[in-house]
């Protein structure tokens, strides 16, 4: 029973990583672009 719970926990973790990864990449892309642009304009 414990191995089944561990298996589902592992699957859930993998699914959560795959689902959130594109959003984190987009946030980093837009966040870095806006911050970088702000620095370039001020400098």
Q: Which tens digits make up the pLDDT trace of 15-28?
A: 999 999 999 999 98
Residue count of the chain: 43
Q: What's the Cα-to-Cα distance from 40 to each of 20, 30, 33, rounded to whole Å?
A: 30, 15, 10
Q: What's the Cα-to-Cα distance from 22 to each of 16, 27, 39, rounded to whole Å?
A: 11, 9, 25
Predicted confidence at residue 8, as pLDDT, reads 96
DSSP 1: -
Predicted confidence at residue 32, as pLDDT, reads 75
Tokens found for residue 28: 């980093």
Mean pLDDT to the nearest integer, 1-23: 95
pLDDT at 14 over 90: yes
Predicted confidence at residue 2, as pLDDT, reads 92
């Amino acid at each position: 029973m414990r191995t089944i719970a561990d298996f589902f926990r592992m699957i859930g973790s993998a699914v959560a990583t795959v689902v959130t990864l594109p959003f984190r990449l987009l946030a980093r892309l837009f966040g870095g672009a806006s911050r970088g642009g702000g620095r370039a304009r001020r400098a």
